[in-house]
Amino acid sequence: QVQLRESGGGLVQAGGSLRLSCAASGGTFSSYAMAWYRQAPGKDREFVAAIDWSATYTDYADSVKGRFTISRDNAKNTGYLQMNSLKPEDTADYYCAVGWGTGPGRYDYWGQGTQVTVSS
């Protein structure tokens, strides 16, 4: 059983940056693909970014390409989401997830989320 804990959310002005972290425990983080999803108030959860276990493959939602970067440090059992040039529409709860492959439905373990608010 893998436990995930997100951190790094907060309030930031438009154009600013935040780095989210996802700390894993209780499992072999280095074996799993990892993803970030987000859910804005009143909206469905949506995919943000994914990275495979070896960090050789990454994927991004069109809405964040060129602004967000997903990465991981397997030695630290931690994943990251660097978010630059933030926009008010990036406001959401952000969740990390891990599983045996990238792609929809492949993630078995989820964190509790961290809130990101971008003011205009």
Query: Which residues partner with 94 through β-bridges?
Result: 38, 114
Alpha helices (H) along the chain: none
pLDDT, tens digit only, all 120 positions of the chain: 899 999 999 999 999 999 999 999 998 999 999 999 999 999 999 999 999 999 999 999 999 999 999 999 999 999 999 999 999 999 999 999 999 988 888 899 999 999 999 999
State how far the Cα of 120 lies from the Cα of 115, in Å rounded to an integer: 16
State which amino acid sits at residue 12: V
State how far the Cα of 93 lies from the Cα of 14, in Å rounded to an integer: 17
First to last CA, the chain: 40
